[in-house]
Structure 1
Amino acid sequence: MADSPPAAEAAPLVTPVNLVLLSLFGFLVYLRLRPAKAQTIPRSPPPTVFRTFTPPELFPYNGLNGMPVYLAVRGRVFDVTAGRNFYGPGGPYANFAGRDASRGLACGSFDEDMLTKDLDGPLDALEDLDSEQMEALQGWEERFLEKYLVVGKLVPVGSEEAKSAQKQ
């Protein structure tokens, strides 16, 4: 037993290099497994309640003063706020905002004289329109139904529907 080779000494596990490597490994595992940032959900627009409008009640919905943009086509009131560039203030169809746009759309005219002047009077029955104009109006109505939400219906001032809507 006299001249046997010295036994190899075991290297200690805790060395500065091992601590650095272990820390780096732990940090990489953390980066890989950490939870993702909480996603922020965009605010949804306030809920729209289907309601009955008379022409004077519809008129303020013209996009001015922060109001949404509504217009009516054959008795249906559409929320066209998403198309504010077209139907809101300064847009090419701005004169239809807050109004019954049926006659103007049917005739392909955006003139003021296509709009009902007396908001307290009867609704435009569109009886004098020819079949081509009615077909054009139907095309517009279908386009609005595909693209925009119906938020109400337009009834004349003084009608039973208008009176019952005011009681609610």
Structure 2
Amino acid sequence: MAYTLDFGTPVNTALLIYILYSVQKIVFPSTSIPKTVPSEFKHGYSWMPKEHPPTVLFKTYTPKTLEPFNGKNGGRILLAINSIVFDVTAGRNFYGPDGMYGNFAGRDASRGMAKQSFDLDMLTAVDQPLDKLQDLRPDEIENMKGWIEHFSNKYVICGKLVENDAA
């Protein structure tokens, strides 16, 4: 049985024209460059962001070199949990100078995160050796690991924290 193409009906003709038009758009896409940078979604995400996010390099930090990254004066905010340094600048409302976790900015937050405490006595002085966390209970260690997992899924890991004399 042989089939023939019948262009006699308007539906077939319209369908053929639509198919040809679609194929033409795929084979010969528009290459015109817009005169201005679009600022809203119309035909896909094709515009450039207002600014490129700052490049983050993986570095080794000590408590002293981590301390300046406390978010004051609009600067970057870093904090460490169990020797992993996270860039939490995107969470400035939480970790910035006026945020509820602001005392962890630029510091080793391991003990405070493990114990769910914002108290200043959870922080080791920057001129002291790193907190070895040896007295933490298993549930506190699990809590700290939960925070590490949460931060790893939300913020950029940008370094590791080592002793002051090991940098």
Q: 1:94 aligns with which of 94, 99, 102?
A: 102
Give the Cα separation in 1 of the matches to 2:106 and 2:33: 52
Q: Percent identity?
A: 54
CA drift at 1:35: 4.9
Native 8 Å contact 2:58 2:159 kept in 1: yes
Q: How does 1:1-168 map to 2 (within 5 A)?
A: 35=34, 37-39=36-38, 40-42=47-49, 43-117=51-125, 119-159=126-166, 162=167
Runs of 4+ in 1 over 2 A off after TM superposition: 33-40
TM-score by length of 1: 0.72
TM-score by length of 2: 0.72
CA drift at 1:34: 9.6
Q: What is the RMSD of the two structures over their aligned residues, measured on CA atoms?
A: 1.6
CA drift at 1:37: 3.7
- Gaps in structure 2 of 5+ consecutive residues: 1-31, 39-46
Number of aligned pairs? 127
> For the pair shown, which has the larger CA radius of gyration, 1 or 2?
1
CA drift at 1:114: 0.2
- Gaps in structure 1 of 5+ consecutive residues: 1-32, 163-168
Against the structure 1 CA distance between its residues 45 and 132, is the aligned structure 2 distance closer, same or farther, given a 3 Å change threshold? same
